[in-house]
Structure 1
Amino acid sequence: MSKIPTLPGITSTMVATSRLQMHVLSSGPADGEAVLFIHGNASSATFWEETMLALPAQFRAIAPDLRGYGETEDLLIDATRGCGDWVDDLIALIDTLGIDRCHAVGHSLGGVVLFNLIAAVPQRIITATLVAPGSPYGFGGCKGLNGELCWPDGAGSGGGTVNQAFVERMAAGDTTEEAGNAAPRVVMNTFYWKPPFRPAREEALLASMLSEKVGPQRYPGDFKPSPHWPGVAPGVWGPINAISPLYVGDAVERFVAAEPKPPILWVRGADDQIVSDMSLFDVGTLGQLGILPDWPGADAHPPQPMIGQTRAVLERYAAAGGRFRELVFAECGHTPYIEHPDQFNAAFHDHLRNR
């Protein structure tokens, strides 16, 4: 049973794969058409429960806790493989469950994982739904629509860019608002959705957020000093290093060249402060706004154009024979499926049925 209370209709199990023990939430008929849900950073499968239960009757929902999160076995993430550990874990999971092909949905960091999953096994993905995904080039430390590194060592991305006060509050399991902008509850209610929205299951979602494994080799990951602004470069462990552009390798090219090409639905909120072309979690933005000192300027380290990069890559995917649809929800932050469930489910279910 999950340590976080689940909604009626959700089953919590541990699945032993060839790689690790994964905690998995599921719903729907065992013989239904599988839909794989991939959660984002500082969350877990818990975030998907309402969306899982809203699926049409013929679908089976599978939502694992990724390595490094929730109740899945606590094994380290080798960031030098980019999203490789997560991708291999997910492939091992669907192999263990006997799923040949599935629909796949990825939110935020999970969207970056989904780009990489399509690049690895496109023949196993029926449709893909990207919900406020991170850029396919990763998070932070890159510029331009082609994801060029700002600095050769990836400075400005990775574990050293995360607010250490927030990390300390995460490690302490702080459920209060006493630490202000460093408090996980405050961060969640300020940035995960557009204020003043508050989800009905706020306590369960906060518990999900706090279930991430924290430590020097875990969240957010290690880091190295850099001669380049802002003075820190990615280390080699943990989730935030794993989504550094330093380690993206040829994943974008493999995604664009994938065959077959599953149709893609891209849903995002117009008021997203986490993934945007002026993300408040990107040091380039913070430098330009004067929040981080000694910013070297827009030529050297501009705000990462996350939306522009995603659109440019998806347009290349379409030009190579794929197709995608972009939906932007008004009055919506980083979590469209929680903030506007009816609007999201209508588009999502249509995408699943009309592939």
Structure 2
Amino acid sequence: MDAGGIRQHVRTWGPEGGKPVLLVHGNCSSGGYWEPFVRDHLAGDATPLRIVAPDLRGYGDSESAPVDATRGLRDFADDLHALLGAGLFGSDDPVVVVGHSMGCGVAMQFTIDHPERVAGLLLTAPVSPYGFGGTRDLEGTPTTPDFAGTGGGTANPDFIARLQTGDRTGEEPTSPRAVMLSAYVADSSAFGADEEAMLDTVLSTATGEDNYPGDSVPSESWPMVAPGERGVLNTMSPRWFSVAEDLVALDPKPPVEWLWGTADAIVSDTSLFDLAYLGQLGAVPGWPGAEACPPQPMVGQTRAVLERYAAAGGAFRETSLEGCGHSPHVERPGEVLAALERLTAANE
């Protein structure tokens, strides 16, 4: 459908009069990444839900419209708002917004911009409210003035090339299948019979400077690359995305459920996608040391912000999932379902 000036592909389940739930996927996937969870755990629910799972711009079957990274994740959040205005839920009732990874950042931005439209916020493996990479402490202090080590220049070129060619092999560690099986989940068998369909969502990612990964600029600070102004990875650089203060100041404050996996390779205090942590491991040469460039405490930052959110009158519930990787709705669907049920029940 056309909404917000671009063509957006949307999956819907359930009656228009059901309780509204909006599912927001993460980076290098699509709305299809939610399908097994909906199929196996939400279809035929005793309390009918109206579920909407869009493909964000540049993913799935949505238009590969350019992403203005200087707006943080707001291009994506604006697209969601346009979809809600198109009547997909059949009412203007507040929705429970469920995010995964980058999609949680989109959900945060959407909630900040339209708090009256959000009945509850479910964050699964969320990007930190201070963005991805380039910050040193629980307050989100930038590691360098130009946010070196974040943005479009941090992506692996071979992974990008394999996305472009639709590579479905799995022998090389930089192949989309290998990345999905090693980084999206802690147990490579977690996708089961849905593995090929889930790989389709990864391969649906539009590549280039306007989409994934985006552009970059040189830096005088290690690792000699800083964020640009276009494309997906730059949207999550703390140069452009830092929403902690806006979250804490929200009014009204919807209840928040936060689920994270202790074996998450992407979003953690020891992320294998954080160049500072890879430098500490010796995997990226030239690391200047922990004092100059410590790994980002991603989980700690999210907890600190949500504790401030609660102190300012909000409410949140944290659920740590032992041994779970980056996809709680794939690996621990029962826990995600329970959190969703708590939020939808609170909206009765």
TM-score band by shorter chain is over 0.9
| SS of alignment partner, residue 247 of structure 1 | coil
Q: 2:60 aligns with which of 66, 70, 73?
A: 70
Instruction: Determine the structure 2 residue equivalent to 1:204.
Output: 197
* In 2: Cα distance, 1:344 partner to 1:151 partner: 36
Instruction: Determine the structure 2 residue equivalent to 1:47.
Output: 33
196 and 85 in structure 1: CA distance in 2 versus 1, 3 angstrom threshold: closer
2:82 is aligned with 1:92: yes
2:245 is aligned with 1:253: yes
Identity %: 48
Q: Supply the AA of the counterpart residue of 1:114.
A: A
| SS of alignment partner, residue 336 of structure 2 | helix
Please say if residues 64 and 211 of structure 2, whose CA atoms lie closer than 8 Å, have aligned partners that are also in contact: no
| SS of alignment partner, residue 142 of structure 1 | coil
Instruction: Determine the structure 2 residue equivalent to 1:235.
Output: 228
Please say if residues 122 and 339 of structure 2, whose CA atoms lie closer than 8 Å, have aligned partners that are also in contact: no
Q: 1:319 aligns with which of 301, 307, 311?
A: 311
Deviation track 1:124-148 (CA, whole Å, cap 9, x = no partner) reads 1001100000101110111111111
* In 2: Cα distance, 1:51 partner to 1:243 partner: 26
* In 2: Cα distance, 1:52 partner to 1:185 partner: 23
* In 2: Cα distance, 1:254 partner to 1:275 partner: 21
Please say if residues 44 and 209 of structure 1, whose CA atoms lie closer than 8 Å, have aligned partners that are also in contact: yes
- Alpha-carbon shift at residue 215 of structure 1 (Å): 1.4
Q: Supply the AA of the counterpart residue of 1:103.
A: V
2:147 is aligned with 1:161: no
* In 1: Cα distance, 2:280 partner to 2:232 partner: 26
Structure 2: gaps spanning 5 or more residues: none
Deviation track 1:257-315 (CA, whole Å, cap 9, x = no partner) reads 11110000001111111000000000010011111111111122111000000001101
* In 2: Cα distance, 1:94 partner to 1:339 partner: 29
Q: How does 1:342-353 map to 2 (within 5 A)?
A: 342-353=334-345
* In 1: Cα distance, 2:276 partner to 2:55 partner: 30
Q: 1:278 aligns with which of 237, 262, 270?
A: 270
* In 1: Cα distance, 2:341 partner to 2:37 partner: 10
Instruction: Determine the structure 2 residue equivalent to 1:83.
Output: 73
* In 2: Cα distance, 1:90 partner to 1:38 partner: 9
Please say if residues 133 and 275 of structure 1, whose CA atoms lie closer than 8 Å, have aligned partners that are also in contact: yes
Deviation track 1:206-260 (CA, whole Å, cap 9, x = no partner) reads 01100010113321011001101100001111110011000125x3211111111
Please say if residues 256 and 315 of structure 2, whose CA atoms lie closer than 8 Å, have aligned partners that are also in contact: yes
Please say if residues 197 and 339 of structure 1, whose CA atoms lie closer than 8 Å, have aligned partners that are also in contact: no
Q: Supply the AA of the counterpart residue of 1:308.
A: G
* In 1: Cα distance, 2:64 partner to 2:210 partner: 11
52 and 331 in structure 1: CA distance in 2 versus 1, 3 angstrom threshold: same
Please say if residues 19 and 344 of structure 2, whose CA atoms lie closer than 8 Å, have aligned partners that are also in contact: no
Q: TM-score, structure 2 length as denominator? A: 0.94
RMSD of aligned residue pairs (Cα, Å): 1.3
Instruction: Determine the structure 1 residue equivalent to 2:139.
Output: 146
Deviation track 1:75-128 (CA, whole Å, cap 9, x = no partner) reads 100001101101111111101125422110000000111111111111110011
Instruction: Determine the structure 2 residue equivalent to 1:339.
Output: 331
Q: Supply the AA of the counterpart residue of 1:72.
A: S
* In 2: Cα distance, 1:216 partner to 1:238 partner: 6
| SS of alignment partner, residue 258 of structure 2 | strand
Q: TM-score, structure 1 length as denominator? A: 0.93
Instruction: Determine the structure 2 residue equivalent to 1:292.
Output: 284
